[in-house]
Structure 1
Amino acid sequence: MPPMPAVPPMRPVPPMLSLLAVPAALLLVVLTTAGSRATSPQATDPLLSLLLTRGKAPAAALLAREEADTRYAEAGPGIARPDHFRAGSITKTFLATVVLQLAAEHRLSLSDPVERYLPGLVRGAGNHGRALTLRSLLTHTSGLYDYTRDTRGTEPVTAVQAVRIALTHPPADRGRFAYSNTNYVLLGLVVEHVTGRSYAAEAERRIIAPLALTGTSFPGSRVSLPTPHGRAYDTDGTDVTELDPRTAGAAGELVTTLTDLDRFYGALLGGELLTPRWLREMLDTRAAHGSYGMGLFPATLPCGVTVWGHNGRISGSYVRTAATVDGRRVLTFRVNTTALADPDLEPALLAAEFCPSTS
């Protein structure tokens, strides 16, 4: 599997301290959509208990869907299928979809320089908006410094403040993949310039409403989560359920549900949001040398299957969605803490779900 890009808004997380003592017994519920045939629990479900024991998560849940069939499982107390949670950098897939829709409408071009849309903003410490294209922002090849390295993902900032923090640092090598939240903060400003509406309003109009993602929202400055929701814990066990989303902004403020993420990624990869041409553009990883497309990245599993999706990390929440390239099979899992203590658990869970059984 290619190296998974770090997904702040925050610095890479150190190994987690032990959290609250929680039972590791797996509470498994298998649900099916109305009219679908029953599905059997897959190998991913027993792995959920390991997210608690080896991953040091207070609780975990997954939702898998394959066309009409849906399977839900949970482990640990205080987490449930309808819960709202913070999705972190999964926000980037939504924003990239909006940008590519605008490109399809000829309202912007991916080859345009950032300076054309945000004149005078990207200047300082060797950075200049004339040297950066929208494509380089989408693919994380701009070389722009990641502002969350300075804010540590804990300081609420405006989009302009975030960019100015980044511009106090010289750029890295342009054309080389380097994950930076600053790229998507800038894209949020570009969407606002082009449409006259915020990126959140455009995502609502273009994605959330058409797909009926009733549990998905952009909270702005609202620190509370919608009801229902569980609790969220940082790596030291601190309750961080209430959080100012301006720490992440366009790079990671999204609030959503398991059901909505499965629906969104299935619809996106299934061609409901982008034409074939622009979906191919989204999945093209050549600019990032195989590491990243545009708001999506591939993961090739040991069995040779490649899945597409994104992960999201914000204080108190880690989420991962992966799907087959046709969108027919999707898996989303989440834990209610900032990161997994054992990084090997995630690829093992994806392989268990998407690789053919050898039994």
Structure 2
Amino acid sequence: MPLLRTRRTLVTIPVTAVLLGLTPAGSPADASAAADTALTLLVSRGRAPAAALLIREETGTRYVHAEAVPDTTPSLPWTAQGSDTTSVRGAPAEPDVTSVPRSPAASGAVSAPAAGSRAGAAIRSGDHFRAGSITKTFLATVVLQLAAEHRLSLSDSVAEHLPGLVHGAGNDGRALTLRALLTHTSGLYDFTAETRGDVPVTPLQALRIAFTHPPAHRGRFAYSNTNYVLLGLVVRQVTGHSYAIEVRRRVLTPLRLTGTSFPGARVFLPSPHGRAYAADGSDVTELDPRVAGAAGELVSTLPDLNRFYAALLGGELLPPALLREMLDTRTAQGSYGMGLYPVTLPCGITVWGHNGRISGSYVRTAATADGRRVLTFRVNTDGLADADLEPALLAAEFCPRTS
């Protein structure tokens, strides 16, 4: 599940680089140094046990990872201790990954939970992890492909495909369009506000929770996982197959995304994978993906996510008219397109992508509008303690040097 902030233009952060000590990237060397420095902050100030960053661009890929040095003294999870022991490593020797020079570690170590509980916290570039609401971009792509095939229309009402399903407490599927679901302007109650993303539910159970609550203001952007649970059912109704099968057939197989999967009810991550930790430090590597379903069950890897967003924004998956529709944020008052959203950085560059939050994992992908440069970073816990780190990292990577 994501923690999606509706504020998209980061003009109030005068590159936040001043605050965090980052220098906006200009040359590839500048970008490497800035990203390397930022990664240490995800671990120290962000209080993540480990972090990793993969950048895809025309000249190749760049991978960086950082881990907190284990502390054998039991303490609160990921608590800064005030010493300089956060480690940063360049990429291991493996195909299509270039080495990144070391940078000085950020001040402030991050201590682990009790001794031994953090084993396996390091992140490798090919590790599988839960991608949370990045699932939505994959699902929206399939819905738009079906629109391109004239098997549905974005102006169709939900009731045309799922008659009688959306009802109760003032909810009415006849008054909602597929476009409203895709753009989060349906007003439907978010079922995860009750389950907190911790309770496995079937799609119908999730909808029953949502439809006991009256809708909010229709037509206004309000992020709700319920929208994409419904879209998953629409895909099944239109195609006769689950959304997982359709995404695999239409996206994963053509792009050869062999590290990406829909686990269904399987609680185990594919190998290789590291460990995942909840905010309280407990190990949540094993997790029932039905806590998220069509709104966030995806498992993926850093290279697969970068390849997917590069292909999508580069026009490989959708006809130009549908891709433009996907990137049109007017329905959602500038906050969201269809399955992805824009962020305008302090330098004026707009990047597109999505974030994903699920217990034990936070991931963020951002790309230039043409898909030629894509960044994905992840931490193996629920999120970052310092909310300024994410926009600062994006600015450091995508903004040119200003001096």
TM-score (norm 2): 0.80
What is the one-letter code of the residue matched to 1:89? S
**Corresponding residue number in structure 1 for 2:93:** none
What is the aligned counterpart of 1:91 among 135, 140, 162?
135
2:37 matched to which residue of 1?
A: 46
Alpha-carbon distance in structure 1 between the residues aligned to 2:56 and 2:189: 37
Change (3 A) 1:214 1:38: farther
CA distance in 1, matches of 2:328, 2:282: 40
Amino acid at match of 2:248: E
Q: Report the aligned-residue RMSD.
A: 1.4
Decide whether the 8 Å contact of 2:354 with 2:366 is kept in 1.
yes
Deviation at 1:4, TM superposition (A): 2.6
Residue 56 (structure 2) pairs with residue 65 (structure 1): yes
Q: Deviations over 1:45-89 (max 9, x none)?
A: 211010111101000000001124110000005211110000000
Distance 2:317 2:204 in 1: 29
- Cα offset, 1:38, TM superposition: 9.8
Q: Is the contact made by 1:82 and 1:258 (CA closer than 8 Å) also made in structure 2?
A: yes
In the other structure, the counterpart of 2:373 is: 329
SS class of match (1:298): strand
CA contact (8 A) 1:39 1:69 kept: no
Deviations 1:140-159 (A, max 9, x none): 00000000011110111011
Give yes or no for contact 1:101–1:274 (8 Å, CA) kept in 2. yes
Match of 2:399 among 327, 330, 355: 355
- The question of 1:170 aligning with 2:214 is answered yes
Task: Name the % identity.
Answer: 76
User: 1:4 maps to what in 2?
Assistant: 5
Q: 2:319 matched to 1:275?
A: yes
Give the aligned partner of residue 132 of structure 1.
176
Match of 1:306 among 327, 350, 363: 350
Contact 2:31 2:396 in 1 (8 A): no
Asked which structure has the greater CA Rg, the reply is 2
| Counterpart position of 1:287 | 331
Runs of 4+ in 1 over 4 A off after TM superposition: 37-40
- Aligned mates of 1:50, 1:135 — CA distance in 2: 38
Counterpart of 1:260? 304
Alpha-carbon distance in structure 1 between the residues aligned to 2:56 and 2:248: 23
Cα 1:111–1:47, aligned 2, differ >3 Å: closer, same or farther? same
Q: How does 1:177-326 map to 2 (within 5 A)?
A: 177-326=221-370
Q: 2:385 aligns with which of 341, 346, 350?
A: 341
Secondary structure of 1:90's counterpart equals helix
What CA distance in whole angstroms lies between the structure 1 residues aligned with 2:280 and 2:374? 31
Alpha-carbon distance, 1:284 to partner:
0.3
TM-score (norm 1): 0.89
Residue 136 of structure 1 and its aligned partner are, at CA, apart by 0.1
State whether residues 54 and 302 of structure 2, in contact with CA within 8 Å, keep that contact through their aligned partners in structure 1. Answer: yes
Amino acid at match of 2:291: T
Quote the Cα distance in structure 1 between the aligned partners of 2:58 and 2:158: 39
CA distance in structure 2 between the aligned counterparts of 1:237 and 1:118, rounded to whole angstroms: 41
**Alignment pair present for 1:55 and 2:46:** yes
Cα distance in 2 between the residues matched to 1:143 and 1:136: 9
Match of 2:117 in 1: none
- Contact preservation (8 Å) 1:39, 1:71: no
Q: Is the 8 A contact 1:143 1:178 kept in 2?
A: yes
Distance in 1 separating the partners of 2:235 and 2:31: 43
Q: Alignment length, in residue pairs?
A: 327
